[in-house]
Homo-oligomer: A and B are copies of this chain.
Amino acid sequence: MTVSSQVSDGTTTASSVDLLLPRGGGGVLAAQCPSRVVLDHVTSKWGVLVLVALSRGTLRWGELRRVVEGISEKMLAQTLRTLERDGIVLREASPTIPPRVDYSLTDRGRELTERLLPLMDWVLANADEILADQG
């Protein structure tokens, strides 16, 4: 049942708790930790879904809009801009008419989704049971 040790590049995730929670405080739980910012981008309502969508491959603006159901144009633009600034998503615009813009994951983005997908998998698999248990 060990899930954490199968990251391709050899990074060990075995006792990650100690990294995340140094004894004297700090780590992710420190108020001023920069990871708080990135964490908010990555775990934002629409950020997660966009990353999942792109994990299968490159998508155009309009495709993203359709595939991530319920997202507004404003939120899609905002989410993509944030993820692009973070170097997680790559934006490639063709100067053609009509315009064509492709979005894909960078290497960094692929590293991220490697760790995100197992979580999403679990949530998807357990959501029904979790909600059923509480009426």
With A17-B55, A118-B16 as known contacts, state yes or no: A124 contacts B6, CB within 8 Å: no
A61 CB to closest chain B CB (Å) equals 16
Residue count of chain A within 8 Å CB distance of chain B: 73
Query: What's the number of copies of this chain in the assembled complex?
Result: 2
Interface-lining segment among A72-80, A93-101, A125-133: A125-133
A55 CB to closest chain B CB (Å) equals 6
Interface set, chain A 74-121, CB cutoff 8 A to B: 85-88, 108, 110-112, 114-121
Residues in A lying within 8 Å of B, measured CB to CB: 1-8, 10-13, 15-17, 19-21, 25, 27-31, 33-35, 37-40, 42-45, 48-49, 52-53, 55-57, 67-70, 85-88, 108, 110-112, 114-128, 130-131, 133-134
